[in-house]
Structure 1
């Protein structure tokens, strides 16, 4: 995976295990988080 923002590079994120997930958009945040750290920035970039 590549981050669109250089600040995201090397920064881990944790997702709930889902054997059906095949790409990033199929993952859900783990540990009770509402969103991944990069979601707001990604949404701002892509609309």
Structure 2
């Protein structure tokens, strides 16, 4: 499993992802996704686990 931090500082989009393999299952999971819009922080929960 690899942790990826994704920063788009031009558009103020940020993500913390887990990416990799668990046994034969591909993992691509957003742990934290946030945007900054009009000076406010918007958090987007990951409601579905992708395998």
Shorter-chain TM-score category? under 0.3
TM-score, normalising length: structure 2: 0.23
Q: Which has the higher strand share?
A: 2
> Which structure has the greater CA radius of gyration?
2
Q: Which has the higher helix share?
A: 1
